[in-house]
Amino acid sequence: MNYIVETKHLKKYYQMGDTTVKALDGIDFCVKDQEFIAIIGKSGSGKSTLLHMLGGLDTPTEGEVLIEGKSILKLKKEQLAIFRRRKIGFIFQNYNLVPDLNVYENVILPVELDGRKVDTEYVNGILKLLRISEKKDMLPGTLSGGQQQRVAIARALATKPAIILADEPTGNLDSATSHEVLGLLKMVAKQFCQTIILITHDRDIAQLADRIVHIEDGKIVSDTKEGM
């Protein structure tokens, strides 16, 4: 079996004076291509730490992160930056949009930063699917929270990443809007054959996933298909 994402005995320890905080304490976890995984768990259980390791934003104390079968820990700084830009789409809770750029400019920014030609048909298709086409020329500050989050999703998808990593992307939205936005994310990811790993506090949203991985104290305590 080939997995798109795999971790082996992943550990992240932080030394705080005399105490060791075990943010991740031996995570063995596999994700199939085009799977939609929800990660749930209490505050401080290690969810964001795990997502950061998967996206190469941080390095583990011990263990391995394999993306498409290759260890990302062996990549040099420059290679890692390219890996992140091309393979991973990040979506964060606080949209991180550039306030002075309009919606379209925000969405294509990562493609331009990568020095690639923008596939305008593809980008326009995403904007349409996410129902923000008519907001293309507007500045982020003039949009609602749900609209801004859809722009952030469009931006994460713009580089055609194989993997979407989302950390509480709808944490600031009401429940109905969260469902709508994540339903759209799921639909778009299906259409473009992407894998989603999503952290959420919301059990209803987790039900949208193919699998729900529950983390406690840096360990996986259950991994179920209840979301199917």
Give the H or E element holding residue 224.
strand 219-224
Q: Please tell me whether residue 43 binds ligand ATP under the rule CB under 6 A.
A: yes
Which of 3, 47, 2 lies closest to 27, judged by CA?
47
Cβ proximity to ligand ATP, 2 vs 43, nearer residue:
43
Cβ proximity to Mg ion, 54 vs 132, nearer residue:
54
Nearest distance, CB of residue 24 and Mg ion, angstroms: 12
DSSP state of 150: H
Task: Give the residue, chosen from 5, 10, 47, 178, that forms a contact with ligand ATP under the rule CB under 6 A.
Answer: 47
Task: Give the residue, chosen from 23, 181, 185, 205, that forms a contact with ligand ATP under the rule CB under 6 A.
Answer: 23
Nearest distance, CB of residue 59 and ligand ATP, angstroms: 12
Choose the one of Mg ion, ligand ATP, none that binds residue 45, judging by a C-beta under 5 to 8 angstroms depending on kind: ligand ATP
Compute the half-sphere exposure of residue 123: CA atoms within 13 Å on the CB side of its CA: 21
Q: Copy the structure tokens of residue 131.
A: 């129902």
Nearest distance, CB of residue 123 and ligand ATP, angstroms: 31
DSSP state of 160: -
Give the H or E element holding residue 19.
strand 19-31
How many helices (H) and strands (E) are present in the chain, helices listed first? 7, 10
Site string for Mg ion, 33-62 (x = CB under 5 A): ---------------x--------------
The H-assigned helical ranges of the chain are: 47-54, 77-87, 103-113, 120-129, 145-158, 175-191, 203-206
**Site residues for Mg ion per CB under 5 A:** 48
**Site residues for ligand ATP per CB under 6 A:** 14, 16, 21, 23, 41, 43-49
